[in-house]
């Protein structure tokens, strides 16, 4: 007779039900981690130009309206943010401010850049 962790059909059903529920919990946790925000408050730290030239930022107007996140450059020597649409944020007299930022993902690479053929 095979060695199984249950004594009857009810225990067998409970065993598989618990196994399935635990797997769902693990999948939920992994999914949440996958989409977990990597936003960094500018109050915690600002981008270091030696590490990041351009970053994704959240801009908020002085009335609280949040803009769609956009790519901007933070210039440490000017303590200012720049992109082609807004220009330098300091030129807007505080109407817009960056509240959070995050590094951009790596750029896609061609097979040749990855070391493959083609």
3-class SS string, the chain = CCCCCCCCHHHHHHHHHHHHHHHHHHHHHHHHHHCCCCCEECCCCCCCCCCCCEEEEEEEECCCCECCCEEEEEECCCCEEEECCCEEHHHHCCCEEEEEEEECCCCCCCCCCCCCCC
Of 20-34, 58-72, 95-109, least confident by mean pLDDT is: 20-34
Name the band, by pLDDT with cuts 50, 70 and 90, for residue 72.
very high
Please compute the mean of the pLDDT values over residues 40-53 and round it to a whole number: 85
Please compute the mean of the pLDDT values over residues 98-112 and round it to a whole number: 86
Is a pLDDT exceeding 60 seen at residue 1? no
Is pTM, for the whole model, over 0.85?
no
Is a pLDDT exceeding 60 seen at residue 103? yes
Name the band, by pLDDT with cuts 50, 70 and 90, for residue 19.
confident
């Amino acid at each position: 007779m095979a060695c199984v962790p249950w004594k009857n059909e009810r225990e067998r059903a409970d065993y598989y039900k618990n196994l399935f529920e635990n797997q769902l919990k693990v999948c939920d946790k992994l999914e949440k981690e996958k989409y977990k925000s990597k936003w960094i408050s500018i109050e915690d730290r600002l981008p270091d130009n030696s590490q990041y030239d351009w970053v994704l930022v959240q801009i908020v107007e002085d009335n609280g309206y949040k803009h769609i996140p956009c790519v901007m450059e933070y210039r440490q020597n000017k303590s200012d943010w720049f992109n082609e649409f807004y220009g330098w944020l300091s030129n807007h007299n505080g109407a817009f401010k960056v509240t959070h930022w995050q590094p951009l993902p790596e750029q896609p690479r061609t097979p040749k850049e990855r070391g493959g053929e083609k």
